[in-house]
Structure 1
């Protein structure tokens, strides 16, 4: 079904299903959520449209509501679980495709450390509906386990998903390992950038912005990697020769410890934090170090500054000023004074905070973390 046909024939039906599903997941009512989806299917909606224009659309809205501090983490998890069970029920609702596997075989997996499996699950179901034989391996697949599976199954292609940019170094390892056994790799997910720039940087054979685009690429076929085309990471990313990425990565635990100690010295209020507040602060510092490290891996400051900008949005939605991040960045600058690329990225990060200073905090509930 083309997008035009979808808009003309089923637009109102799917719009109604989206609103019904949204109300159901907001109330954590799995039965009502199921009715919203299956009523649309019974009324003639295409299963692929329901997957992508109803379930995926509502899941995106859930994420936006969490970022805006209108959904808790638990509510977001509950909605995701409901969607996952509905997708499973859809898969077993009718008979299998008339010609399963005729479009080729694809292994779909999330890279190691990536727990957001729903986008990959949606892709797997779309591919099944289009006649592919699909192995869906789920979330957080260690690269050695993935490669062992591919040796056993020899698919025509592998589709790797990652939503978190901090997983890009692991994604690079997986891409290189799969291509080394002459299987082409398609990647997707927010981690690879809105324009796929990190997919190209890390040597993927193809990138798709969404499930329909991915299915189209796979239908046309991905060429097998040519002999000798796979390279080691340092050849893909020559800036890694300066060792900054490796040294910062290895010192992460000590960096987080030192920054926390420095924050206690500079922010006396931290001494009165509860254990939960201290753990949350440690997690925040660790995330900053993770994204700084990944920026060093890709040699792209945007990865770090985009993360800080997003974090500022989340904080401000909770009535916390973005400037609260500045002491941590200043302490990291002191800890990494011998690392020129890291210092440059930290300077750009602090400039990102400066640019936000003139912005008023958005209206909303008070911070509850």
Structure 2
């Protein structure tokens, strides 16, 4: 059976029509309407690959945008994602989604700690439509389990997916281990940067920005690494020798607790916070420390400032006073006085929020 994956829509075959129908179903939490939108598109001539990449993928992207704008709750987001996952599964069992494998075996997995598996699932289904035999291992695959699978199955490549940049250190370990097992690594996902800069820094064989680019690279063939060549992660990132990343990563819980206490002293309204508000504040501080340590790992200030700018926008959308970010940097900086790279990142983070038209910090980080 062959599925036409290169068909382009004509005037009466617009993926946007079915994308809008799917989005309306996701907003209502209506799984049956979502499936109907997808199958109607198939019946009217859209290819299965088009459905995946031009209907489901952008609809899922909109889910994230609506959550960030505070127009969807976390629960709403989870419902919509679960519906999309079930629709993809139904599509895979539809006659239009079944293709006899004619290429080799590929492993697709999310790195350890990465729970956003929908992008990897979409990629897996596109590759199946392109004739590859795909082992989709799902979300949060511990590196030892991944390597055991690679040794057992001997795939032509492993495709590692990561959406959250804080998983880059774990991705680095998985990349290094897979290469040592003699399997080329194709990295993908938002965590690796819009141009794949972090995939290259971590030694991945290749990077691809979308599913069609992945399919093209696989057809061209990826060079197999020499498993006898000794390679250590620090060879990719020699700046790790200063131990700043290691020390901060190891003391992350203590840093969060101390920062929460320090913020309460500097920002008196926190003393009236409910238990729920304190928990959310602690989570926000933990995210800041995680991104700080990841930026130290990659030695890339953009990784930290991009996250801080986004956090400011999220706080603004939720009507949370953003000058607490500046206070957080002050308290953290006092604890990290012996870490010059970390303090420089905190200064850049403060500047990023101060320069944003959406998230001003009164008094350059001091209380108004």
**Alignment TM-score, normalising by the size of structure 2:** 0.93
Is the 8 Å Cα contact of residues 312 and 321 (structure 1) preserved in structure 2? no
When residues 87 and 96 of structure 1 are mapped into structure 2, their CA distance, relative to the original with a 3 A threshold, is closer
The count of aligned residue pairs is 357
Give the drift of 1:94. Answer: 1.6
Q: Distance in 2 between matches of 1:251 and 1:271?
A: 25
Match for 1:6 among 5, 8, 11?
8
Aligned positions of 1:245-264 closer than 5 A? 245-264=245-264
Is the 8 Å Cα contact of residues 176 and 230 (structure 1) preserved in structure 2? no
Is the 8 Å Cα contact of residues 179 and 230 (structure 1) preserved in structure 2? no
1:300 aligns with 2:300: yes
Alignment match, 2:364: none
Is the 8 Å Cα contact of residues 120 and 138 (structure 1) preserved in structure 2? yes
Alignment match, 1:77: 78
Q: Distance in 2 between matches of 1:283 and 1:38?
A: 41
Alignment match, 1:290: 290
Alignment match, 1:346: 346
Specify the SS of the correspondent of 2:95: coil
Q: Distance in 2 between matches of 1:309 and 1:202?
A: 25
Give the drift of 1:79. Answer: 0.4
Show CA shifts across 1:272-327 (max 9, x none). Answer: 21111111111000000000000000000110000001111111122234322111
Is the 8 Å Cα contact of residues 9 and 46 (structure 2) preserved in structure 1? no
Alignment match, 2:330: 330
Q: Distance in 2 between matches of 1:11 and 1:293?
A: 48
Is the 8 Å Cα contact of residues 48 and 96 (structure 2) preserved in structure 1? no
Aligned positions of 1:44-193 closer than 5 A? 44-94=45-95, 97-100=98-101, 102-193=102-193
Give the drift of 1:226. Answer: 3.3
Unaligned runs of 5+ in 1: 362-369
Specify the SS of the correspondent of 1:40: helix
When residues 31 and 83 of structure 1 are mapped into structure 2, their CA distance, relative to the original with a 3 A threshold, is same
Is the 8 Å Cα contact of residues 92 and 98 (structure 2) preserved in structure 1? no
Is the 8 Å Cα contact of residues 107 and 155 (structure 1) preserved in structure 2? yes
Q: Give the root-mean-square deviation of aligned CA atoms.
A: 1.6
Give the drift of 1:354. Answer: 1.5
Is the 8 Å Cα contact of residues 5 and 48 (structure 2) preserved in structure 1? no
Is the 8 Å Cα contact of residues 309 and 352 (structure 1) preserved in structure 2? yes
Alignment match, 1:366: none
Alignment match, 2:366: none
Specify the SS of the correspondent of 1:145: helix
Unaligned runs of 5+ in 2: 361-368
Show CA shifts across 1:232-272 (max 9, x none). Answer: 11111000000111011111111001101101111121112
Is the 8 Å Cα contact of residues 323 and 353 (structure 1) preserved in structure 2? no
